[in-house]
Amino acid sequence: MSHVSCLKIGFTFIELIFVMLVLGLLMVSALPRFQHAWSRLQTEAAAFEVAQTLRVARTLAVTQGQPVDWTWDADGRRVVLEGHQPDGSSAPILERFGRSRAVPEQVQLTVVREQEDGEPIERIRFFPDGTSQPTTLLIGDARARFQIGVDETTGQVAVQRAPY
């Protein structure tokens, strides 16, 4: 009886090794898809966070009755919000409203609108009446790209997947 139970345990162990080998091969073949999905999700999260900071800037401009600038800090890879004082100076808004998390290195952010002298801009102004400077931002990496539009007359922010 003990001889038969040894064979049964050995056969079960071989089945276990075979199943683990098959699962390992499946995981290795699925790894590129997981990496692609992770990259796309990081890009999507960055796009929606940037859009949210644009919405916060508009809301603050309306509620505070002062213009608010949304500024892209390319060196820090962050968005900073700056409020305008009655004397014309500007100052960063409180940290909880004024700074976003850093955009991942592989994600590129481009502000499409240019200044009149042809230089690229990194600032969008929202006004107390809810309007803003019309702007389109492109944010993406090698696998996913999003377009964020800011409507001039309403200051509303819209996010959509952009084709390559």
CB 99 within 8 A of CB 114: no
**Token pair of 92, please?**
């960063």
Type of residue at 139: I
Which of 71, 141, 64, 60 minimizes the C-alpha distance to 106? Answer: 141
Q: How confident is the model at residue 99 (pLDDT cuts 50, 70, 90)?
A: low
For 46-68, what is the mean pLDDT? Answer: 91
pLDDT of residue 58: 94
The residue extents of the domains of the chain are 42-161
Whole-structure pTM value:
0.74
pLDDT of residue 111: 82
Asked whether residue 38 carries a pLDDT value surpassing 70, the answer given is yes
CATH class of the 42-161 domain in this structure? alpha beta
Which element (helix H / strand E) includes 47?
A: helix 2-64
State the CB neighbour count (10 A cutoff) for residue 85.
9
Higher pLDDT, 122 or 50: 50
Task: Quote the CA–CA distance of 23 and 30 in Å, as a whole number.
Answer: 10
* Residues facing 112 on adjacent strands: none
Share above pLDDT 70 across residues of the chain, in percent, rounded to a whole number: 83
pLDDT of residue 128: 93
Least confident of 29-43, 63-77, 84-98: 84-98
Question: Mean pLDDT of all residues in the chain?
Answer: 81
For 58-87, what is the mean pLDDT? Answer: 86
